[in-house]
Structure 1
Amino acid sequence: MEIGILSLSDVQTDPATGHPHDPARRTREIVSYAIAADQAGLDVFGLGEHHSPDFSVANPAIPLAAVAQATSRIRLTSAVSVLSTLDPVRLHQDFASLDHLSNGRAEIIAGRSAFLEAFTLFGIDPAHYDDVFAEKLDLLLAIRDNSEHVTWSGRHRPALDDLPVPPRPLQKKLPLWLGVGGTPTSIERAAGLGLPMALGLIVGDIRRARPLAEHYRTLGHTAGHRADALRLAVTSHFYVGATSQAARTDLYPYYREYLRPKTPGGRGWLVGPDDFHAVSGPFGALMTGSPQEVIDKILAERELLGIDRFIGQVDFGGMPAVMVNRSIELLATEVAPAIRTELGLAVPPAA
């Protein structure tokens, strides 16, 4: 089982000035978190893609390239690449180049996104949301799976007629996961194609995700895919503190700030103390608490859902770097080693 972290690069307002935090500084801090995770022996670092002033990263491949040059082991992935609004040729080229820079550590998590800004910016009609995604995924797989020349045609992009798509990655194929939020269509697509799936668990009870995991594997097996191809990752908001109470006390204002609507009627919701208590409980989707609580919760997800990878979103809501770095340290030095020992996995040495 792999354990890692991710950032979505949200940019919050500084309460002292009333102005947004500096997106350049925010991006540099995110790169530093990835380097710290690599040095501490974590397995995966993911970086999101957004096209709004509320986030600092629009193309994950660029900051990930900086991370690649300063790390040696950690796998580097988008989380997610908004495939509906991207050219699959350019996406594959970007991550093949990242694969070269990282000596074979690049991955892609492709998703549809719930944010409309990218569709407006790139001229994609949201009414064709799923059709465009399915077609572009088909092209991305054709590029990934054909090492020499690609022939492909569709309705939403010009055809390729026996064309090379350089550069080719260092790995035989770029690992490609589908990022899903729990809709049956997305789960069935991942299962039918035999692609590993990254499931975002944001709210609610993690036990409710068990039928989704079982549905994914049942459909995948029925479609003839090997069990080792049907890998499942879970991503969740994450913060680990020295004690249970300290973790919750420290995290709550940032969690609330991250999720609250920033404009009247805007996306998000207000999280009250009772809501926070429920979502941070033993089976709540929010992964927070003392190291032992987090160990128990990740192991519960392993038992309930059969997860192969856990990735915690470690920085959000304007959380200061000192909090993020301490959480990463506890994840790497206390949580991850205990989980690996419990599962009989090798413990990598810290850099």
Structure 2
Amino acid sequence: MVRPNPHVLPQIDKQKGLEIGLYTLGDHIAHPLSGERISAKQRIKDLIEMAQLAEQAGLDLFQVGESHQENFISQAHLIILSAIAQATSKIKIASGATIISTSDPVRVFEDAATIDLISDGRMELIAGRASRIGLYELLGYDLQDYETLFEERFQLLLEINENAVVNWEGEFRAPLNDAEIIPRPDNPSQGLPIWRAVGGSHSSAYKAGTLGVPMYQAHLGGAADSFKQTIDIYRDAAENEGFDSSILPVATAGFLYVREDSKQAYQEYYPHINEGMKLTNGSGFPKGLFAQGQDARSIINVGDPDLVIEKLLYQHELFGMDRYVGQIDFGGVSMDNIKRTIDLLGTKVVPAVKKYTSK
């Protein structure tokens, strides 16, 4: 017997094919070759323009993530999303991800619901743990509570999303007693689509499945088929709990860069990825692993339009995902090159992928 799903799920029309969007983590890094770095003010304005260009190109979604360390400007990512909500009219918008472990779920919901009202119902939340852990000390949390903080606050976020009046008692915050959480989104559920970001964790994917929530999985590099097990674990866990996994959305995300020539794409993009990883993660991106991305079975979606189309279709066949979200601006990529990628996505990649994945 199929169990009713209690959660607010994203509205994805599978008849229109794979949803394709863009995400940014708001890194603020100099160009690896010229050494030029734009101002923080200009970088934020560029993020807003990226969302506008993505909408004009016919993409489905634009996400902004948060990071609280040097070389980023996205600490207040929901404020940036609020500006994007006002600057666009059709494209879906989402956090990518909101670090719920170190954020108060009440405040996150208030902010996200307000953005949903500004955007006429286009807002989604992706809740994650944080791969960069410096924010735990910065915001006054103990890293030893990494897992328990996330699980408790994710559950509270779901509770708030699904109930206008909340009673709650947990370990990491004061109780909520008949607390009315407002504003509410202007839709029948009065809630938002909330995804669980899992990284590469099998246990987190399993938990997402048992809860019956949408799953968001980001990838750095490697063979695409090495990531299939995590998605299978998620769907099996959902089915075992009585949920219909066919209606539970899966989103994948990763590096994306398109040029007319694949060799040019790999030559241009590698310095950005390598330098960006050095500055934000402590070590560069292995050159051999990046070069393997030229294989159509790689998870790195870099190349000419035909290669990127082939890769996305292969990944869709492998994963059966409902949405793919690409990161095109990491590591000091210039706005001119960002615009070139968006143009090629809109004119060549997106129409072809949607044609072959529509039902």
TM-score range, shorter chain: over 0.9
Partner Cα separation in structure 2 for residue 110 and residue 66 of structure 1: 20
Q: Deviations over 1:269-305 (max 9, x none)?
A: 3432x33211342122211101111111011111001
Q: 1:174 aligns with which of 192, 195, 198?
A: 192
Q: What secondary structure is seen at the aligned counterpart in 1 of 2:146? A: helix
Q: Which residue does 1:191 correspond to in 2?
A: 209
AA at the equivalent of 1:298: L
Q: Deviations over 1:105-134 (max 9, x none)?
A: 000000001111210111111101000111
How far 1:13 moved relative to its partner?
Answer: 3.0
RMSD (Å) for aligned C-alpha atoms: 1.6
Q: Given that residues 31 and 333 in structure 2 are in contact (C-alpha distance below 8 angstroms), is that contact kept between their aligned partners in structure 1? A: no
More off after superposition, 130-139 vs 276-285: 276-285
Q: Which residue does 1:90 correspond to in 2?
A: 107
Partner Cα separation in structure 1 for residue 358 and residue 205 of structure 2: 30
Q: 1:267 aligns with which of 282, 291, 306?
A: 282
TM-score, with normalisation over the residues of structure 2?
Answer: 0.91
Q: What secondary structure is seen at the aligned counterpart in 1 of 2:328? A: strand
Q: What secondary structure is seen at the aligned counterpart in 2 of 1:260? A: helix
Partner Cα separation in structure 2 for residue 17 and residue 336 of structure 1: 31
AA at the equivalent of 1:277: A
Q: Which residue does 1:160 correspond to in 2?
A: 176
- State whether structure 2 residue 302 is matched by structure 1 residue 288: yes
How far 1:18 moved relative to its partner?
Answer: 6.0
Q: What secondary structure is seen at the aligned counterpart in 2 of 1:214? A: helix
Q: 1:221 aligns with which of 224, 233, 239?
A: 239
AA at the equivalent of 2:298: G
Q: Given that residues 202 and 237 in structure 1 are in contact (C-alpha distance below 8 angstroms), is that contact kept between their aligned partners in structure 2? A: yes
Q: Deviations over 1:44-67 (max 9, x none)?
A: 101110111210111221111111
Q: 1:125 aligns with which of 142, 150, 154?
A: 142
How far 1:19 moved relative to its partner?
Answer: 7.5
Partner Cα separation in structure 1 for residue 67 and residue 156 of structure 2: 22
- State whether structure 2 residue 354 is matched by structure 1 residue 329: no
Q: Given that residues 259 and 271 in structure 1 are in contact (C-alpha distance below 8 angstroms), is that contact kept between their aligned partners in structure 2? A: no
Partner Cα separation in structure 2 for residue 17 and residue 46 of structure 1: 28
How far 1:252 moved relative to its partner?
Answer: 1.9
- State whether structure 2 residue 161 is matched by structure 1 residue 144: yes
Instruction: Show the 5 A alignment for 1:247-262.
Output: 247-261=265-279
AA at the equivalent of 1:197: M
How far 1:199 moved relative to its partner?
Answer: 0.6
How far 1:256 moved relative to its partner?
Answer: 1.7
Partner Cα separation in structure 1 for residue 323 and residue 34 of structure 2: 39
Gaps of 5+ in 2: 1-17
Partner Cα separation in structure 1 for residue 208 and residue 33 of structure 2: 45
TM-score, with normalisation over the residues of structure 1?
Answer: 0.93
Partner Cα separation in structure 2 for residue 270 and residue 43 of structure 1: 29
Q: Which residue does 1:278 correspond to in 2?
A: 292
Q: 1:5 aligns with which of 3, 22, 34?
A: 22
How far 1:17 moved relative to its partner?
Answer: 8.5
Q: 2:93 aligns with which of 76, 85, 90?
A: 76
Structure with higher RCO (Cα < 8 A, 6+ apart): 2
- State whether structure 2 residue 357 is matched by structure 1 residue 340: no
AA at the equivalent of 2:203: T
Q: 1:37 aligns with which of 23, 45, 54?
A: 54
AA at the equivalent of 2:199: G
How far 1:86 moved relative to its partner?
Answer: 0.1
CA spacing shift, 1:122–1:98, aligned 2, 3 Å: same
Q: Given that residues 217 and 252 in structure 2 are in contact (C-alpha distance below 8 angstroms), is that contact kept between their aligned partners in structure 1? A: yes
More off after superposition, 5-14 vs 151-160: 5-14
Q: What secondary structure is seen at the aligned counterpart in 1 of 2:185? A: coil
More off after superposition, 7-16 vs 308-317: 7-16
How far 1:102 moved relative to its partner?
Answer: 0.3
Q: Given that residues 214 and 249 in structure 2 are in contact (C-alpha distance below 8 angstroms), is that contact kept between their aligned partners in structure 1? A: yes
How far 1:337 moved relative to its partner?
Answer: 0.6
Q: Which residue does 1:348 correspond to in 2?
A: none
How far 1:194 moved relative to its partner?
Answer: 0.6
Partner Cα separation in structure 1 for residue 223 and residue 296 of structure 2: 9
Q: Given that residues 10 and 54 in structure 1 are in contact (C-alpha distance below 8 angstroms), is that contact kept between their aligned partners in structure 2? A: yes
Q: Deviations over 1:185-211 (max 9, x none)?
A: 211111011111111111211111111
How far 1:23 moved relative to its partner?
Answer: 1.4
CA spacing shift, 1:228–1:94, aligned 2, 3 Å: farther
How many residues get paired? Answer: 340
